[in-house]
Homo-oligomer: A and B are copies of this chain.
Amino acid sequence: MSIKVLLDESEIPRQWYNLAADLPTPMQPPIGPDGSPITPDKLAPVFPMNLIEQEVCQDRWVDIPEEILEILYRWRPSPLRRAVFLERALGTPARIYYKDESVSPAGSHKPNTAVAQAWYNKQFGIEHLTTETGAGQWGSALSFACALVGLSCKVFMVRISFDQKPYRRLMMETWGGTCIASPSRETQAGRSILEQDPDTPGSLGIAISEAIEAAVSDPNGKTRYSLGSVLNHVMLHQTIIGLETKKQLEKIGEKKVDVVIGCAGGGSNYAGLAFPFMADKIAGADIEIIPTEPSSCPTLTRGPFAYDYGDTVGMTPLLPMHTLGHTFVPPPIHAGGLRYHGIAPLVSQSVIEGLATPRAMHQLECYQAAVLFARTEGVIPAPETSHAIACAIQEAEKAKQEGKERTILFNFSGHGLMDLVGYEKYFEGKLDDYPLPEELMNKSLEALKDLPKPKAAKSGRW
């Protein structure tokens, strides 16, 4: 029995899958502060037009340019692995598979879209990209992609992470990116915040403001902004994960997957694996699809579906999504990539359609699962990824109780080599489940009702 399934470069999927084409109900458009739908031209100073076209695209399949594939070949197709050693440890009759996205040079799934976005920007004549980063995963992935494509990259990194996580900053710099503590003196937004509070730890919202300002204020128009999750084109680029997985399962004669699992913060690694399987589900296949999230930031399981800002300060358009309110500050769980108040509209819409069943996971159960995984399968998971592993273990235990031979698939979105401090605290008994601050959440949910509402019902997203 083979414990990993590889594909040749010649077997890589040559098109991305666009779930928007298959969703039973059309997506609702993002809206501006006046409630009107955002038109593509309004986004032109921020994103290149070729990516805006992908953002609004309704085609089921989108060709992947050959030049992008040539870069992805460095680590793609990524391995699909069978977790035989974990299965044995659990004594489960289930077969557990995981798609290993940790093999990219940046250590996660993020480069799948970083490379595509950098390439489309380069094609459009752009020379510089800006972005923000919290813990540093996305900033390092974009720096990596820009190095390979030939763009300069400026990353505004939240000050407290900049100070506390020098390794992520060093990855960006090694790839030639410029990493700046945010708030910075480089932007109007940064300067005005520093004037009020010179010692601010910064926030993702401030960093987004700075990155967008730095992009749109380039007098030569050669700079654009790049976002690592949430948007439709990001989900699109990530579907290569699930498309490869389907080919790999087919290759080993695994005809039916019963459960598909991915951890969801902004939603991109989950969507990347799950959307191609969701297409089968829409066509009638019996598959349970589970986005997992922290119980202390339960966007999909407890947030309403509403229009809300994508960032914490309200700079972005309002997006139709499950949200805990853009002012919600989740507890400091170590899975920083899952500490997001909202989620990708495509992910939200598919939950509303009943195509996926979100599940919230407690931090301690996730670390316990991660350690079991490391000691059986050998790879140390990122704290975000542990939310998918813990759920896969729950499903494997269920299969054991029921005596059923189920096929469980999850996305191993990234390794944890840059996140070992969380493990240290776990071993020292210093972690708990960080219960959801209900009052704080209720307050931020309450604020939702004062936000702009769409002017008129629309069919079609844009």
The residue from B4, B105, B423 contacting A378, defined by CB atoms under 8 A apart: B105
Contact B379 A174 (CB under 8 A): no
The residue from B73, B176, B377 contacting A74, defined by CB atoms under 8 A apart: B377
The chain B residue with its CB closest to the CB of A77 is: B6
Contact A417 B107 (CB under 8 A): yes
Chain B proximity mask over A367-385: 1 for CB below 8 Å, otherwise 0: 0000100111111100000
The chain B residue with its CB closest to the CB of A170 is: B420
Max count, chain B CB within 10 A of own CB: residue among A2, A147, A166, A174: A174
A9 in the interface (beta carbon within 8 A): yes
Residues on the B chain within 8 Å of A175, using CB: 374-375, 378, 380
Q: How many copies does the complex hold?
A: 2
Considering the chains assembled together, what is the distance between the CA atoms of A128 and B8 in angstroms? Answer: 41
Contact B9 A144 (CB under 8 A): no
Residues on the B chain within 8 Å of A171, using CB: 380, 417, 420
Considering the chains assembled together, what is the distance between the CA atoms of A81 and B175 in angstroms? Answer: 19
A120 in the interface (beta carbon within 8 A): no
Chain B proximity mask over A165-190: 1 for CB below 8 Å, otherwise 0: 01100110111100000000000000
The 5 lowest CB-CB distance pairs between A and B, nearest first, are: A170-B420, A147-B375, A105-B378, A105-B379, A174-B423
Residues on the B chain within 8 Å of A249, using CB: none
A-B contact pairs, 27 of them (CB 8 A): A2-B9, A3-B9, A4-B9, A4-B73, A4-B74, A6-B6, A6-B8, A85-B148, A107-B417, A147-B374, A147-B376, A148-B376, A166-B420, A166-B424, A167-B417, A170-B420, A170-B421, A170-B423, A170-B424, A171-B417, A171-B420, A174-B416, A174-B423, A175-B375, A175-B378, A175-B380, A417-B417
Max count, chain B CB within 10 A of own CB: residue among A81, A144, A377, A380: A380
Contact A378 B424 (CB under 8 A): no
The chain B residue with its CB closest to the CB of A420 is: B170
Count A interface residues, CB 8 Å: 41
A61 in the interface (beta carbon within 8 A): no
A418 in the interface (beta carbon within 8 A): yes
A124 in the interface (beta carbon within 8 A): no
Contact A420 B174 (CB under 8 A): yes
Contact B74 A378 (CB under 8 A): yes
Chain B proximity mask over A52-92: 1 for CB below 8 Å, otherwise 0: 00000000000000000010011000000100010000000
Contact A144 B74 (CB under 8 A): no
Contact A174 B371 (CB under 8 A): yes
A376 to chain B, nearest CB (A): 8
A231 in the interface (beta carbon within 8 A): no
